[in-house]
Each structure stands twice: as C-alpha cells, then as structure tokens.
Structure 1
Amino acid sequence: MKRNSNEILDYEKKNRRKVRRSIFQLCILLVIVFLVFQTFVEMNRYDASDTKEWKNKRGFIALSYPGVSRDGSDSLFAKKQLQQQLEALMEQGYETISQQDILNFYNNKKPLPEKALFLAFEDGRTDTSVFVNPLLKKYNYKATLLSFANKLDENDKRFLQPSHLKQMQKSGFWELGSNGNRLTYINIFNKEGTFLNIRDDEEILSKDEINSYNHFSMDFIRDQNLIPSENRVEMEKRITNDYEEMRNVYQKQLGTMPGVYMIMHANGLYNTANKLVTEVNDKEIRKTFDMHFNQEGDAYNTRAKELYNLSRVQPKTSWSTNHLLMKILSDTNQKVDFVKGNEKQAKQWKTIESAAEFHDNTITLTSKAKSMEN
C-alpha cells in the first residue's frame, strides 16, 4: 500500500513520534537504573536491627580476627575459612552489635539480641577490608576495624589509610578501633639468648626467632639483666607521650578517636604487668577510649564485666568452624549446632560425642573443651 506523500512530509508528526519513543526509552532506562540501585546500593547498606525486640540482659560474645587474605597463611585467615565461620555464626542466630550497643548495655542497662556478637578485625590491613567487606554485606554484619595510629601517617599501602577508613565508616558496616600507637617490642631475647634493644615490627623478621619480649607500653624498658633502665618518671613520661602521640594522629587523620581499644598485649594489665605500668596505662586508656578489651581467651562478657576490662577470643588460623563453635559452647553454655559438611558422608559415620565435619576425603574431628569434660 502506497503511503500518502503528505504523511511522509509531515515532519511534525515524525518529531512527535521521536519524542514519544525517547520518553519511552528514558522510562525503561530509569527503571533499569532503579533496579541496579536497589540491587547494588540499597542492598549494600547495613540494615540495623530493631532494638525494641532485644531482651538479652545476660551478655555477648566478642571475636577479634587477625588479618584476612585470599588464601590465608600461618598468621592470616583465608577468605573461604572466614566465610564458613561467619556463615555458621549467622545460622546459629548470632547478630552483630555496635560499640554503642555495648555502651548502652553497661551504662544504661539496655538489652542486647538473644545471641549478640561483637566482631572485630585487628591490625588494620588493606587486604582485610578487601576480603571481609563482601562478607559483611552478605550476612548484614557490622564489624570494628582496628588500626595502629602510626600506620596512618606512613602511607604504607599494606595498611588502610585515613581516606579508606572514613569511607568504610560511611557504609555502616564498619566502626573504628585501635590496637595502639605502634607495634613496637621491648625487652627482647632471641632464641640464642641475645638481648635486643627496642625493635619495630618491621625489624623483626620472624616471631619464631624471638624467645621473649614485651610491647612498648606494657613494661619498663630494661637491660639484659631485666633491670629497669628508666625510672618511674621516665617510664610514665614515655608511655603518656605515646598515648598523646596516638591521640594527635587520630585527630589529625580521622578527626576523631576510635571508640574501642584492644591493647597489645592482652591479659597483662591488672594481672601480670608491673603495677606502676598498669596505673599509667589505665589512666590513659580511660582518658582516650570508650571501652577496652583487655583480656583474651574467653569469648563471653556478662553484665558483671567492666567496660575497661572486657574479654574477647582471637580465633587461630588453624581453627576449623567446629573448633570455634566448640569454644563458644564452652564459654557461653549456649546451644550450638555443629556443622557437618557433606551430609551424605556424615550419615555413614556415628559421632559419639564432640563434633565431626566431612569434606571430600577429610574428616575434621573437634573434641570437647577441657572445661566441659567431667
């Protein structure tokens, strides 16, 4: 059928068609953009729990992991291993809590979720954020990233820099904490019995070469006979200056102080550390931070605990998922469902007690903790 020549030459009509087509295409584009936004932006925002539903007045567990890498090592968790453990915790019903939730629990007697978990990652490594961030988003978990203040001033790419930390905070999945001003060792003896002066972490090639040491703020500086080479005034000035330097760096680089402190090294203050060293640390810690995880080894913090003497467990890279769950069971007495791995293989075996996990040709057995044995 022949088209009318007047219709062909009707440019206004053709332009109206173009406008309608453009509007239609724009609408489709907006729908696509909206769906992408919903998928990759909205879902990547931390969804805080409704605290009105919380009724737990007993306590919470705290876990602080070392650095995380793709394949792991003796000192770094593998991403897959961490994912298995976080997934197991999520399936057990554990919800992560914030630093403010802990403050509210102790200061205002507010309850927590039934299974409350304070999750942290130490040392402030860049690879930790790369591999942990997707897992926090997947499980809608919040975590605290701990850093050393001096690393924020050194532009060392192995460690997260101020711009990275600020961006992580904005996501809602991360809060900030501190391991201290520096990772520096004092009063060192190597395996050959040679006494070494003060050494930064980079100067210690391997901890396997070291027989004994202490951290910068945890003792008097001593000579090879372990006799203090500084008096009380000098010790207090050195440690006080270290805290002051730390505060200055955080204020300069982040504009604020992290709320949580996990001292290097755990279990010393109020226990084995020199009383005078404990006193100056205690004063500076309370002046600087909102709370302090001073102890390591017990995951559970009850209402009876004190905000500046909290406890956490540092999972080892050698731990299986069931090892972690057994530790939590031992510390909390809360019900735990151990993971089985390959269900088909698991049915071929009978577990009399403890836990067994099956993967391919490997069976991982986890015995009861000593505290659970009769």
Structure 2
Amino acid sequence: MLPERRFAIGLTLVVFLVLAYLNNSKVILAKANVPARSFAVPVLMYHHFAPPGLNIAYNNVILAPARFERQMKYLKENRYNVIFLRELCEAMEKGKPLPPKTVVITMDDGYESNYVYAFPILKKYNIKATINLIVSFVKEENPTGFNPEKTTFLSWKQVKEMQASGLVDFQSHTFNHHHYLYVDANKKYTAPMLVSKVFSEEDHRLETDKEYEERVFCDLKKAKAILEEKLGKEVFALAYPYGAYNHKVQELAKKAGYKMHLTIKNGLNRYGDSLLEIRRVNVAPGDDMEAFSYKLQHGREK
C-alpha cells in the first residue's frame, strides 16, 4: 500500500475516533445535566393541628399532631430532602439541580397550633417548613393564651422565634382577603373576595373594575410590605386563599411583587413549569402512611 494511501486511511480513522469521542462527551454532558432539568417536587399542604377528642368541628384540614409526627419521622428515616419554598423557587427559575426525594412543606393561614404542635416536631426531626400567613390575623402577642378548642393565630413573637430557628420561613396568604363576601344585592351568593367584585351595602352596588383592582393590589402589597418589615426577608410567594385565582389576580400579584403563586391544584413541580401555578397536595387527617407515601411520589390523591 502506498504511503499516501496509508496516511489517508489513518487520518480518516483519527477523525472518526475524535468525532465519536466528542459525540459521546455530549451524551455524557447531557446526562450530567439531567438532574437540573428533571426534578419533580411535591409541595405538601397543611393547615391546622389538633389532638383528637376536643370540642371542635374537625374537618379535612385539621391534622392530629401524632399523625404529623409519624409523617415527619417517615421523611427523616427515608432520607427525604426537605427544602424551603424559596429554594424550590430558585431551582425552578435557574434550573438548579435538586436531589431525588426533594419535598416542600407548606402550612396555610398561620394557626397558633403550628407553633404549639408542629414546630416542636419540626425541631425534633430538623425539618424545614414554609408558613403562609394571613397577615392581618397576626398580633404582637396573644393576650388570651393558647386554647386548643379556640381558633387562634400566631403572634409576631412566635413568628420571629420560629424564623430564628432556621427551620421556618414565612410567605403571604394576603393581608385580609381570606374571606367569602356577598356578590349580589339580595345576599344570596358569596364568593372569595380575592377573585370577585363584592357588593357594597353602603353604595348599594357592585365594585367597579377599577375599585376591585385597587382593593386587591393594595391588600397584596400591604401584606408583603409588613412581612418584609417585620422579618427582614424578601417575600416572594403568595398562597391563593381557597385556591381561587384568575388571570387578573395573577397580574395584580405580579405587580405587587410576588413571583411565585401557590395553588391547590395537585401534581408535581418541575423545571420549566410556571411559577404562577405551583401545585400542592393537601395532607388529609385520614391519610395513612401508604397514602402519604403516594402523595410524596405523585403529588396527588391515589
């Protein structure tokens, strides 16, 4: 074989090997990037806690503390990576890698039972949670003290203690828009006030579009401002009361400075999903450990 032919064959072989190496490197790099693009995170939703046997109306958002502890113990023993809502926000915004079995715990409304029953359990298992406060319900202190048969809410003193632990973060559940109000003159129909023009008895008419938008925007802005002033941290998330929202509310919430909006739609949260429709699944009082495990894996009811 002529030297020139041998050289040409050798050069072709080298080029082939280099291209194969580069192509394989791209595959490896793509695989290395998979964790940043493929996480699927459940956001658990809790509300109120109360032991059984009290003289209260139990419902699907009141959980026994003992059941909550079993769930937190399960997360710890099974090595779940429990993160704050703000960490999920950063990962979804930037494609930041999250390890398998990552989960977010949220608690809505800001009941005092979160401090009395849930907080000691969070500390025991070193688990993070994010509490979404109805800001107008939070007082400097609770003058009557805690009564498990009364509906009481966190004080600023308790909120600051929980934040100082490094285990609890706080976001907004509006300033004072967690209510149903009348939307007609005959008082036959009510609707969540965040998404509805309400009827004014004083003026005997529904709000105008402008009045509605000003009311909602001012409430959301006020909640964010107070939380940031009291706690010295950025407030970026809004949990919709009753899970009710529409495009106008999304627009007003963004304008007020909220970049992450929490719904009650079931499902997992992935990189590339909208921050304006974070999915959550309610942890119900009747959930056994099989049901709890299913919600962790799928972000929904079985």
Q: Same fold (TM over 0.5)?
A: yes
Structure 2 partner of 1:60: 41
Structure 1 stretch 166-175 or stretch 80-89: which is displaced more? 80-89
Q: Which runs of 5+ in 2 are unaligned?
A: 1-33, 146-151
Structure 1 partner of 2:27: none
Measure the CA separation in 2 of the matches of 1:242 and 1:101: 26
Contact persistence 2:47–2:107 (CA under 8 A): yes
Indicate which of 304, 309, 316 corresponds to 2:272: 304
Structure 1 partner of 2:11: none
Measure the CA separation in 2 of the matches of 1:331 and 1:251: 30
Contact persistence 1:153–1:249 (CA under 8 A): no
Q: Secondary structure at the match of 1:122?
A: strand
Measure the CA separation in 2 of the matches of 1:330 and 1:284: 28
Measure the CA separation in 2 of the matches of 1:215 and 1:124: 19
Indicate which of 244, 251, 255 corresponds to 1:282: 251
1:95 Cα offset (Å): 1.3
Contact persistence 1:291–1:307 (CA under 8 A): yes
Pick closer, same or farther for the CA change 1:285–1:160 going to 2, 3 Å: farther
Deviations 1:165-222 (A, max 9, x none): 1221111111111211122222379xxxx726xxxxxxxxxxxxxxx64222111125
Contact persistence 2:183–2:206 (CA under 8 A): no
Structure 1 partner of 2:287: 319
Measure the CA separation in 2 of the matches of 1:253 and 1:101: 21
Deviations 1:297-348 (A, max 9, x none): 424101131112111111122322222223344448xxxxxxxxxxxxxxxx
Structure 1 stretch 66-75 or stretch 116-125: which is displaced more? 66-75
Measure the CA separation in 2 of the matches of 1:59 and 1:312: 12
Indicate which of 180, 189, 201 corresponds to 1:185: 180
Deviations 1:224-270 (A, max 9, x none): 9xxx712211211221222233234334533445332211121x43x
Contact persistence 1:181–1:245 (CA under 8 A): yes
Structure 1 partner of 2:240: 263
Measure the CA separation in 2 of the matches of 1:181 and 1:328: 30
**What is the RMSD of the two structures over their aligned residues, measured on CA atoms?**
3.0
Question: Is 1:292 matched up with 2:261?
Answer: yes
Deviation >6 Å, runs of 4+: none
Q: Which runs of 5+ in 1 are unaligned?
A: 1-53, 197-211, 333-367, 370-374
Pick closer, same or farther for the CA change 1:230–1:316 going to 2, 3 Å: same
Measure the CA separation in 2 of the matches of 1:104 and 1:89: 22
The aligned runs of 1:37-76 (5 Å cut-off) are: 55=35, 57-71=38-52, 73-74=58-59, 75-76=61-62
Q: What amino acid maps onto 2:174 in structure 1?
A: G
Q: Secondary structure at the match of 1:130?
A: helix
Q: Secondary structure at the match of 2:45?
A: strand
Contact persistence 1:64–1:122 (CA under 8 A): yes
Measure the CA separation in 1 of the matches of 2:207 and 2:116: 43
Question: TM-score, normalising length from structure 2?
Answer: 0.72
Indicate which of 187, 191, 212 corresponds to 1:195: 187
Pick closer, same or farther for the CA change 1:305–1:252 going to 2, 3 Å: same
Contact persistence 2:180–2:193 (CA under 8 A): yes
Structure 1 partner of 2:21: none
Measure the CA separation in 2 of the matches of 1:299 and 1:93: 21
Q: Secondary structure at the match of 2:115?
A: helix
Question: Is 1:139 matched up with 2:139?
Answer: no
Question: TM-score, normalising length from structure 1?
Answer: 0.59
Q: Does 1 or 2 have the higher relative contact order (CA < 8 Å, sep 6+)?
A: 2
Q: Secondary structure at the match of 2:282?
A: coil
Measure the CA separation in 1 of the matches of 2:249 and 2:297: 36
1:82 Cα offset (Å): 0.9
Q: Secondary structure at the match of 1:195?
A: coil
Measure the CA separation in 2 of the matches of 1:231 and 1:154: 35
Q: Secondary structure at the match of 1:288?
A: coil
Measure the CA separation in 2 of the matches of 1:66 and 1:141: 17
Contact persistence 2:108–2:131 (CA under 8 A): yes
Indicate which of 209, 218, 226 corresponds to 1:249: 226
Pick closer, same or farther for the CA change 1:114–1:251 going to 2, 3 Å: closer
Q: What amino acid maps onto 1:237 in structure 2?
A: E
1:142 Cα offset (Å): 0.5
The aligned runs of 1:169-180 (5 Å cut-off) are: 169-180=163-174
Contact persistence 2:108–2:173 (CA under 8 A): yes
Q: Secondary structure at the match of 1:120?
A: strand
Pick closer, same or farther for the CA change 1:144–1:109 going to 2, 3 Å: same
Q: Secondary structure at the match of 2:105?
A: strand
Measure the CA separation in 1 of the matches of 2:255 and 2:41: 22
Indicate which of 161, 171, 188 corresponds to 1:167: 161
Contact persistence 2:46–2:108 (CA under 8 A): yes
